[in-house]
Structure 1
Amino acid sequence: MTTDRPGLRERKKAATREALSWAALRLAVERGLENVRVEDIAAAAGVSPRTYNNYFSSKAEAIVFRHRDRVLQAAEALRARPAEEPLWEALTRALAAPFDGATEDPDPQWVAAVRLLLREPALQAELVRGSAATRAELAAAVAARTGTDADRDLYPKLVASAALSALQVANEHYLTADPVVPFLPVFTEALRQLTAGLPDPSAH
C-alpha cells in the first residue's frame, strides 16, 4: 500500500502539470499571451494560483512544457523498445508515440493562432533555454541503446540532434502548410527521410 502512494502522487502531479500547460496554451491562443494571467490559467485547470507557481515560473515555461515533455516521453519510450529493433525504427516509433492521435485534420484557425503565438520572443527564448536538456536526455537514451557514451561520443549527440531537427522542421511545415495538414504524418515522413540518409530527390 505504501509503495503505491508515491506512484499515485507522481501521476497526480503529472496530470496537474499537463492540465496547467494545456490551459496556458489554449488561453494564449484564444487571447494572446499578454492577455492571459496566471490566475486565468490556474482557474482553467481547476487549481489555485499558488499551485500554478509550484509548477511553473512563467507562462512561457508552462506552454513550452508540453513540447519538452513529449521529447522526454520519447526518450523513455526509446529505452523501452525491443533491443533487437533497428535503432531508427525504434527511434521513429518512440518519437511518434507522444503524438499519437495527431493524425486528424487540424482546425485552420487554431493552427494560424499557434503560428502567431510561437513568434512571441518569450516563447522562443524558453524553447531555446530547454533545448540542451531535452537533447541530452534523448542522446542518453540513444547511447544506452547503441553502447556509446553520451558525453564522449559524437554518434548519440548527432542522432538526437538530427531527430530533434526533424521535429522542429515538421512542426514548422505543419504550421505553415496551406491547406493545413495533420502533424504526425509530416513528422514520420521527416524521420523516414532521415532514416534513409536524406537521399538526393533530384537523383530520382
Structure 2
Amino acid sequence: MDTTDRSAAPDSPPGLRERKKAATREAVHRAALRLTVENGLDHVTVEAIADEAGVSRRTFSNYFATKEDAVLWGEEQQAAALLRAVAGRPAQEGPWTALRAALRSFEPGPFSPDRETITRTRLALRHPSLLGRQLATHAGLEQDLARVLAERGAEPLRSRVLAAAFLAAMRTTMRTWFESEHPAELLDLADQVLHLMGRPFDDPGAGQA
C-alpha cells in the first residue's frame, strides 16, 4: 500500500516514516539475499527471512509478495534508476545515444560490477524461480523504457525496438562477463556490446556515441 505523503513537495527529503520504511525494506532484502546465498533458495522460508531481519511475517508481506521479490529487490531499484537517467538526458540526444550515456552515468554506481549485482545474477542463473522473476522485472522495464523513449520523441515502434535491443545487450554483457571470468571492466564490455548492437540505431552524425 502506498502511504506516501502527497502534501510534501516532490523534491523534499523523505520524512521519518518514509526513512523507517526504506530501512525496513532494505533490512528484509539484505536478510533474504544473505540467507539465499548461505542456504540456497529452496531451503529459505519467508518466516526465516522475517526472523533474520527482525520483523514479523506480516511486516514482510507489507513489503514483498514472495521471497523471490525480496531477494531481487535491487533489480527494481536499478530499473527505476535507469529510467530516471534516460528521462534526464539532454533533449537533443538521440534515443540510442541517450541510453548509452545513461548507462555510463552510473559509473561506479548500480550498473558497475558491485558485489550485490554479481550475487543476484549468480543466484538467478542458479535458481529458475529467481530467473523467472528477474525476467518479469526486465519485461516490465522494457515497457517502461519504451515509454520513456517515446516521451523523448522516438516513434512508438522504434522505441519498443530500441528498448528491447538495449536490454538484450545488457543480458549479453552480463553473461559474457561471467562466462569469461571478468577479463574487462563491466561497463567497458557493455560499451562494446552496445556499439555492436546499436550500429543500426546510431544517431546520424553520432558515430559510436
Residue 83 of structure 1 and its aligned partner are, at CA, apart by 1.1
Equivalenced residues, count: 193
Alpha-carbon distance between aligned partners in 2 of 1:89 and 1:46, rounded to the nearest angstrom: 45
What's the C-alpha RMSD, in Å, of the aligned pairs?
3.5
Quickly say closer, same or farther: Cα 1:198–1:146, change in 2 above 3 A.
closer
1:6-85 equivalent positions in 2, closer than 5 A: 7-8=14-15, 9-10=17-18, 12-85=20-93
Query: 1:3 aligns to what?
Result: 8
5+ residue gaps, structure 2: 203-209
Query: Higher mean Cα deviation, 56-65 or 172-181?
Result: 172-181
Q: How far is the alpha carbon of 1:21 from its aligned partner? A: 2.9
Please state how far the C-alpha of 1:71 moved relative to its aligned partner.
1.9
Cα distance in 1 for partners of 2:145, 2:96 equals: 13
Q: What are the Cα deviations for residues 122-143 of structure 1, in whole angstroms up to 9, with x where unaligned? A: 1122123333321111100110
Q: Following the alignment from structure 1 to structure 2, what is the Cα–Cα distance between the partners of residues 175 and 133? A: 24
Alignment of 1:66-145 (within 5 A): 66-98=74-106, 100-101=108-109, 103=112, 115=122, 117-145=124-152
- 2:172 corresponding residue in structure 1: 169
Percent sequence identity over aligned pairs: 35
State the Cα deviation string for residues 122-176 of structure 1 (Å, max 9, x = none): 112212333332111110011011253xxxx310100100011111111112222
8 Å contact kept, 2:142–2:160: yes
Preserved CA contact (<8 Å) 2:124 2:134: no
Q: Tell me the distance in 2 between the aligned counterparts of 1:147 and 1:72.
A: 20
Q: Which has the higher helix share?
A: 1
Say if 1:106 and 1:43 are closer, same or farther in 2 by CA, change over 3 A.
same
- 1:187 and 2:208 equivalent? no
98-107 or 171-180, which moves further after superposition?
98-107
| Cα pair distance change 1:83/1:198, threshold 3 Å | closer
TM-score (norm 2): 0.72
The unaligned stretches of length 5 or more in structure 1 are: 200-204
Instruction: Write the letter of the residue equivalent to 1:131.
Output: H
- 185-194 or 165-174: which moved more? 185-194
